[in-house]
Structure 1
Amino acid sequence: MGAAAAIESFAHWSSQGDTWRDRPVLVLEHAALMRRLLTGALKNAGARTIITAGSEAEAKTIIASDMPGMVVADWRADQTDHRQALSLVKSVRTSDNLAIRDVPIVLTGQYTSRTDIERARDSGASEFLKKPLSTGDFLKRIEYAAVPRLFIKKTRYAGPDRRRKPRDGRDPAFKRKIDVQEGLVDSLTAARNACVALAHEVARDGCQHARRVAISLNRYLGAVREFGPTENEIVEMHRAALVQLEQARDANDAIRISVVQGLEDVVKMRLSRL
């Protein structure tokens, strides 16, 4: 669980005393009316330089060369598949350039669902607005996105810290390392709670191979009676398998099956030793 997590200091333009208004703002929006609305609102809010892009490919080039202080993009842009639609966010969050990696990204979308919003959040988006949007709400979200947050880098997530509010009794089950450290939950229960959340996440995409990974992890955690380095190693193996499946999503099915089968064989062997 916590072994693969690295929390790093937020290191974008704000560390140099700048604000998002002092850096170029990139807008990726195909609809002319919406593009004028967004750029007009940004200018009125004090943005000094606004750059528009016509495609995700162009946006990626602009981000690499101009290192904007804010990115505002239609979440689907020129893509129809939700995986490809979030490729801009993912490419930014996995960049080796810290100034690029940390840039706040505000996504907008007209036809969205709770699942779409969760996908955007889990890809590393800073804020998400549903169209049609008001100028006031838009600028409010821009300011929220600009607030410096820790950058989280884990096996399956890279982006700003998604935790903003103190945990209370209505929150999801305790599942984080900090919950264990504060004595709110034991390590094994936290791991099992995290597994339930993982199963929910992979179910959103409907990938049967990813579901098998979640089932495999649940089977293992349901059999063990304590959680230590050995158990954490198995958890990270499952997370790594999900990353492999994501990277091989366009490969032939035999490759993806081999990833899952290999993982299930390891779990079977480990369970035989209990």
Structure 2
Amino acid sequence: MSVPSILVVDDSPSLRRMIGACLRAGGYTVTEASDGKEAHEVARSGSFDMLVTDQVMPAMDGLSLIRALRATPAYATIPMLMLSTEHDERILDQAREAGASGFLAKPFDPDELMASVEALLAPPNEG
């Protein structure tokens, strides 16, 4: 079985590095992007098993990125986890409507991140 490849998108370099390090330690292959626009370009030129994206970013926010990728056959069904410091019902509803598979409020514990990623990547008959 191949190692899942995850695209991590956050405009905060320190948070992006922390998420990437956490996922790499969990055995995942990680590619990082600094905003939604860069992530969209990276996603179009590569292939990923999962997206972990911040919501509030310059150039293209997380909701717009998820919508754009969901419209692409290669990314129509992959798990997409949204991270946000805003966690009211309105944002949760918008994330679900955009196509997010899960939502994690910042700040989060690295174990929480790993549990969410593992749950979203688990085959349906195991999850």
TM norm. shorter chain > 0.5: yes
Query: C-alpha distance in 2, partners of 1:120/1:90?
Result: 9
Indicate how the Cα distance of structure 1 residues 148 and 122 shifts in structure 2: closer, same or farther if over 3 A, else same.
farther
Indicate how the Cα distance of structure 1 residues 79 and 119 shifts in structure 2: closer, same or farther if over 3 A, else same.
farther
SS of the aligned residue for 1:62 comes to helix
Provide the residue aligned with 1:200 in structure 2: none
Task: Find the partner of 1:88 among 50, 62, 65.
Answer: 65
Q: How many residue pairs align between the two structures?
A: 125
Is contact 1:104–1:146 with CA below 8 Å preserved after alignment?
Answer: yes
Provide the residue aligned with 1:25 in structure 2: 6
SS of the aligned residue for 2:11 comes to coil
Provide, for residues 138-171 of structure 1, a one-character-per-residue CA deviation record: whole Å limited to 9, x for no partner.
011101211345xxxxxxxxxxxxxx9xxxxxxx
Is contact 2:33–2:39 with CA below 8 Å preserved after alignment?
Answer: yes
Provide, for residues 205-237 of structure 1, a one-character-per-residue CA deviation record: whole Å limited to 9, x for no partner.
xxxxxxxxxxxxxxxxxxxxxxxxxxxxxxxxx
Greater fraction strand: 2
1:39 pairs with 2:14: no
Q: Which runs of 5+ in 2 are unaligned?
A: none
Q: TM-score, normalised by structure 1?
A: 0.42
Task: Find the partner of 1:71 among 51, 56, 74.
Answer: 51
Is contact 1:64–1:100 with CA below 8 Å preserved after alignment?
Answer: no
Provide the residue aligned with 2:93 in structure 1: 118
Is contact 2:35–2:59 with CA below 8 Å preserved after alignment?
Answer: no
Query: C-alpha distance in 1, partners of 2:64/2:98?
Result: 9
Question: Relative CO higher for 1 or 2, CA cutoff 8 Å, sep ≥ 6?
Answer: 2
Greater fraction helix: 1
Query: C-alpha distance in 2, partners of 1:128/1:79?
Result: 21
Provide the residue aligned with 1:51 in structure 2: 31
Alignment of 1:1-274 (within 5 A): 18=2, 22-47=3-28, 49-78=29-58, 85-95=62-72, 97=73, 99-148=74-123
SS of the aligned residue for 1:86 comes to helix
Query: C-alpha distance in 2, partners of 1:105/1:124?
Result: 8
Indicate how the Cα distance of structure 1 residues 103 and 119 shifts in structure 2: closer, same or farther if over 3 A, else same.
same
Is contact 2:54–2:62 with CA below 8 Å preserved after alignment?
Answer: no
Which structure has the greater CA radius of gyration? 1
Q: Which runs of structure 1 show a deviation greater than 4 angstroms over 4 or more consecutive aligned residues?
A: none
Indicate how the Cα distance of structure 1 residues 107 and 36 shifts in structure 2: closer, same or farther if over 3 A, else same.
same
Q: Which amino acid aligns with 2:77?
A: D
Q: Which amino acid aligns with 1:41?
A: C
Q: Which runs of 5+ in 1 are unaligned?
A: 1-16, 150-163, 165-274
How large is the Cα RMSD of the aligned pairs?
2.1
Provide, for residues 8-28 of structure 1, a one-character-per-residue CA deviation record: whole Å limited to 9, x for no partner.
xxxxxxxxx54xxx2431111
Q: TM-score, normalised by structure 2?
A: 0.86
Q: % of aligned pairs identical?
A: 25
Provide, for residues 80-120 of structure 1, a one-character-per-residue CA deviation record: whole Å limited to 9, x for no partner.
9xxx641111111121x2x3222211110012211101110
Is contact 1:94–1:101 with CA below 8 Å preserved after alignment?
Answer: yes
Provide the residue aligned with 1:212 in structure 2: none
